[in-house]
Structure 1
Amino acid sequence: LLDTTHHKNGSNVSIEEGVKNCIEGFKKMARVAEKNNVTLILEPLNSKIAENMKGHPGYQGDHIDDCVEIAKAVSSPSFKILFDVYHVQIMDGDLIRRIEQHQEFIGHIQIAGNPGRGEIGNNQEINYRGIMKALLRVNYSGYVGHEWIPTGDPIKGLEEAIAICDI
């Protein structure tokens, strides 16, 4: 898992130079990953929310489309994108279309409720049944991780998530 791209705040390096450096470094890493049958995953993170564990202000890799462009430039079957539904919703929205558009680059899915990165129940804005149906339509066969900040009993929250996501 690669949770790092160039940091765009307070840097003397331009965004364009940061992207170029990331691509060069990721290409080198991807060659090693290919030889060892390992998949590297780049995670776009939201830069809008400053609250700890809910956002990453200054993070350059904050838009799914930009990270997919990096993946295209790296051009390796061992370099994929982590589609974190929570972060993509905050930064870009249009989740189902983006899943369909970027399906070949998705190497892992993460889910959490929005707002708040909590449970995925009825008190948040993302339709996870629709998301799961979209993943089935694009033949996604990987894992779906539930990375959330529990607001109640975590076991109950996980059971509810399973019920919502079980299509």
Structure 2
Amino acid sequence: MRSSQNRRSAIKNIVAGTGAIAAAGALSAFKTSPVTKDEPAKLKGNINHSVCRWCFQNIDLDTLCGAAKGMGMKAIDLIGPEEWPIAQKHGLYSSMCNGPGVAITFGWNDPAKHEKLIKDYSDLIVKVAAAGYKNLICFSGNREGKDDVTGLNNCVEGLKKILPLAEKHGVVLCMELLNSKVNHHDYQCDRTDWGVKLCKALGSENFKLLYDIYHMQIDEGDVIATIRANQHYLAHFHVAGVPGRNEPNDTQELYYPAVIKAIKDLGFKGYVAQEYLPITNDQDKMIASLQASMMICDV
């Protein structure tokens, strides 16, 4: 995503290595046919599907949006104001708007960063609302020695200064839950209970959590029960296979049809976005894998 250049660079290296090793075997699980704008996939209509742009950097955004629309997706995640017109051209919604161009480690748990974050998010909240969008991603930042209570209190102090603006414009700030075990070492918002405590401390319907199923399976597991217990605080979901962060198919440990069904049964009306790393750099195979992954999550 734009808020983490280091993440993008690392992902490119992972994709290249993983694709060479695993493409031949794992792609055999994908049995979908290519889609076009005129022949969208037949979806059940229970899930609002989206795709995270940063995972498909090898495909230009215009092509990705056309493919996503063609397979029946309604939205695209993690694009910013300069990219919104391309999504709009294809009739796609920006389901989770990108934050300012800062790293995931640069977060609300550090008072020294509040001045810049307040300025940047205040500007972006207005733009998100003017474009007709709702969800805007944010991050806790790394602990850097801060205990959980101090980090949470620092987040409250900073976020309270922009929440009135978010409430005025109908924008929901969504802090992403990320694992600190494998991908984002030292990240503070790495447990659902910590994120929920932050939601309760802020006491606003305009602050919720982005529940990344991949990340939370790694750091805490028990994802269905956790989602059920905390549904009120979860505004958005990201999907990827565990382990490896590749396609959410039968090569990995989570059974996504059950997870997504649990989300559906709660009456969730937000978006479920594919945020996995394709095992191939071939554009046609990447699009085919995206359709297959979406269909696995269409319950």
Query: Does TM, normalized by the shorter one, top 0.5?
Result: yes
The letter for the 2-side match of 1:162 is: M
Shift of 1:6: 4.4
Residue 44 (structure 1) aligned with residue 159 (structure 2) = no
Q: Please name the residue that 2:185 is paired with.
A: 57
Deviating 4+ runs (over 4 angstroms): none
CA displacement 1:67-94 (0-9 Å, x = unmatched): 1110111110111100100011001110
Stretch of structure 1 that moved more, 80-89 or 20-29: 20-29
Aligned mates of 1:15, 1:163 — CA distance in 2:
38
Q: Please name the residue that 1:125 is paired with.
A: 253
Q: Please name the residue that 1:101 is paired with.
A: 229
Residue 148 (structure 1) aligned with residue 276 (structure 2) = yes
Correspondence 1:75-90 to 2 at 5 A: 75-90=203-218
Contact 2:138 2:173 in 1 (8 A): no
Q: Which runs of 5+ in 1 are unaligned?
A: 50-54
CA displacement 1:89-147 (0-9 Å, x = unmatched): 00111011011011111111110111111100110111110011101111001111101
Out of 123, 137, 143, the position equivalent to 1:8 is 143
Contact 2:274 2:294 in 1 (8 A): no
- Identical-pair percentage: 39
Q: Please name the residue that 1:158 is paired with.
A: 290
Shift of 1:16: 2.0
Contact 1:41 1:81 in 2 (8 A): yes
SS where residue 162 of structure 2 aligns? helix
The letter for the 2-side match of 1:20 is: N
Residue 139 (structure 1) aligned with residue 267 (structure 2) = yes
Aligned mates of 1:149, 1:3 — CA distance in 2:
21
Q: Which runs of 5+ in 2 are unaligned?
A: 1-135
Q: Please name the residue that 2:158 is paired with.
A: 25
* TM, length-normalised to structure 2: 0.52
The letter for the 2-side match of 1:121 is: N
CA displacement 1:28-80 (0-9 Å, x = unmatched): 2222100111111010110001xxxxx10011111111111101111101111
Contact 1:86 1:112 in 2 (8 A): yes
Stretch of structure 1 that moved more, 25-34 or 123-132: 25-34
RMSD between aligned alpha carbons? 1.3
